[in-house]
Amino acid sequence: TILTLDFGSQYTHLITRRLRELNVYSEMLPCTQKLADLDWKPAGIILSGGPYSVYEEGAPHADPAYFELGVPILGICYGLQEIAYRAHSENVIAGTAREYGHADLKAKRVDGHVDRLFKGLEDEMKVWMSHGDKLAKLPEGFHVIATTQNSEYAGIAHKTKPIYGIQLHPEVTHTPDGTKILENFAVGICGAKQNWTMAKFVDQEIARIRKLVGEKGQVLGAVSGGVDSTVAAKLMHEAIGDRFHAVLVDNGVMRLNECEQVKQTLSDHLGINLIVAHAGQQFLDGLKGIQDPEQKRKFIGGKFIDVFEEEAKKIEEAAAHSEKAGKIEWFLQGTLYPDVIESISFKGPSATIKTHHNVGGLPKRMTEGQGLKLIEPLRELFKDEVRELGRQLGIAHDLVMRHPFPGPGIAIRVLGEVTPERVEMARKADHIFISMIREAGLYDKIGQAFAALDPSRAVGVMGDKRVYENIVLLRAVETTDFMTANPYPFENSFLTKVATRIINEVHGVCRVAYDYTSKPPGTIELE
């Protein structure tokens, strides 16, 4: 196992992700982790980047005991500076020229060889840098293994001990050879085994959940039918069976037959202990008269919590009478790594670490107010890894590859006021669009697709009669991270067929338009 100490860089998780891609198991712990409190010995240690300056008061530093352990150490960016600063406080200074973005790295040859860290690579490579501070001096006992135009000490290594420091970020895709550098360190230098697989993750996570929850502990969680909550729920079910209680809230703005399908999949196929709260009417009643997107989101979020809490109370009451199981103390959340807004930050001179996470709009007052503790088994994973995990758990391909669907559902896909009739039109149009995308074999090529309804009406002529009806907007995007997106380039003939079917089959619609806006400046959803 490689230990990655997180100094708070936004890329730290990418280090563990790259190592997982190499089938090397790695654990990421906060940089304040003391060696004495660790009950395993790492094969090697990576010190991550971070937003601080090592010489600042209150800046984080690694437990010196790691440097006495004798295992290889690789410092990345801040990690490099930490290694140099430990040797002498004057070794690190604020750089005059900051280096952000691409740089050409030159591996230095000693006796005709590049360092083992760069084994198998060209002497010159494109790398990605992001730093303001730099080494002013080479720490004693070290030599230079790589340079860039701006950094005389872009890579350093101890002359006799396996301690390395690099200024570049090997974990980002902008450093094309970065994975090889990490492989050279983890496998070549540390001798880590390449035997980690998603199946092992499942076993480890199940064992961790069982230990955390105990023999009788019970867990509550919300499911939506989406990939993340389904995978998280299935994992919980594997770990503790019916002591995991899933709640699906039917908010009246789900897609065609969705509630029934989700129920079938989760309950009948996956065996998850599921309660469905049919609250559609309450949501639709409350949405009456609301025009503003933010207000819609607020209302739906708030109502969701009310309904969820009501169900939770019932489950808790039932649980209180059970002899086999104890109180509900845990709350499952399918948070993924990209939802983790800020991994670690330091507060004041006491250097206390606080972990921030996105609670996905879910009941803070349930977790904080009622003392439910969070379980987030997907917290370290990226979307594609969650999909792989889903496959590993036997979840069907169609579900694993499902496009994301927003919590506020069709309510933010009906522009302006939401009425049951408008939801119905958007729902039918969406169903036609998505079915045709599937039939054309395009579903897995598209990041997200849906139909929305614009109730500002347009004039048309149908059956020789003038009509004045709603407009359907089709949206489909290609994206990897949902932060940026481009419109999917459908063939015209495909869109024409979709438009014809929607107008023929969805009463109240006389126009269909395709949204060609990229994100930015647009967003994926229309509201």
Which active-site residues does the annotation give?
77, 169, 171
The C-alpha atoms of residue 518 and residue 453 are separated, in whole angstroms, by 19
The answer to whether the bond into 42 is cis (omega within 30° of 0) is: no
Residue 27: count of CB within 10 angstroms of its CB = 16
Q: Which of 441, 442, 445 is nearest to 480 (CA)?
A: 445
Tokens matching residue 233: 């729920």
Q: CB 226 → ligand XMP: shortest distance, Å?
A: 8
The answer to whether the bond into 408 is cis (omega within 30° of 0) is: no
Q: CB 339 → ligand XMP: shortest distance, Å?
A: 10
Closer residue to ligand XMP (CB): 309 or 339: 339
Known binding residue 219? Answer is no
Interface pick for ligand XMP out of 9, 12, 448, 470 (rule CB under 6 A): 448
Closer residue to ligand XMP (CB): 404 or 508: 404
Sites for ligand XMP among residues 386-445 (CB under 6 A): 404, 406-408
Question: How many residues bind to ligand XMP according to rule CB under 6 A?
Answer: 11
Known binding residue 227? Answer is yes
The 269-298 site mask, x for binding ligand XMP (CB under 6 A), equals ----------------------------x-
Q: Which of 162, 166, 201 is nearest to 45 (CA)?
A: 162
Should residue 482 be labelled a site residue for ligand XMP when binding is judged by CB under 6 A? yes
Tokens matching residue 255: 């897609």
DSSP-derived letter for residue 339 is G
Residue 145 phi/psi, 5-degree rounding, is -115, -10
Closer residue to ligand XMP (CB): 457 or 519: 519
Should residue 162 be labelled a site residue for ligand XMP when binding is judged by CB under 6 A? no
Question: Taking a C-beta distance cutoff of 8 angstroms, is the pair 332, 375 a contact?
Answer: yes
Q: Which H helix or E strand runs over 510?
A: strand 509-514
Tokens matching residue 11: 């890329």
Should residue 255 be labelled a site residue for ligand XMP when binding is judged by CB under 6 A? no
- What HEC string does 284-303 produce? HHHHCCCCCHHHHHHHHHHH
Closer residue to ligand XMP (CB): 338 or 460: 338
Closer residue to ligand XMP (CB): 209 or 247: 247
Question: Taking a C-beta distance cutoff of 8 angstroms, is the pair 178, 18 a contact?
Answer: yes
Q: CB 520 → ligand XMP: shortest distance, Å?
A: 9
Residue 150 phi/psi, 5-degree rounding, is -90, -25
The C-alpha atoms of residue 98 and residue 150 are separated, in whole angstroms, by 9
Q: CB 479 → ligand XMP: shortest distance, Å?
A: 8
Q: CB 297 → ligand XMP: shortest distance, Å?
A: 6
Should residue 525 be labelled a site residue for ligand XMP when binding is judged by CB under 6 A? yes
Selected range binding ligand XMP among 62-70, 237-245, 270-278, 516-524, rule: CB under 6 A? 516-524
The C-alpha atoms of residue 355 and residue 357 are separated, in whole angstroms, by 7
Q: CB 234 → ligand XMP: shortest distance, Å?
A: 19
Closer residue to ligand XMP (CB): 166 or 485: 485
Interface with ligand XMP by CB under 6 A: which residues?
297, 404, 406-408, 448, 482, 519, 523-525
Q: Which residue positions form the known binding site?
A: 224-230
Q: Which residue positions form the known binding site for ATP?
A: 224-230
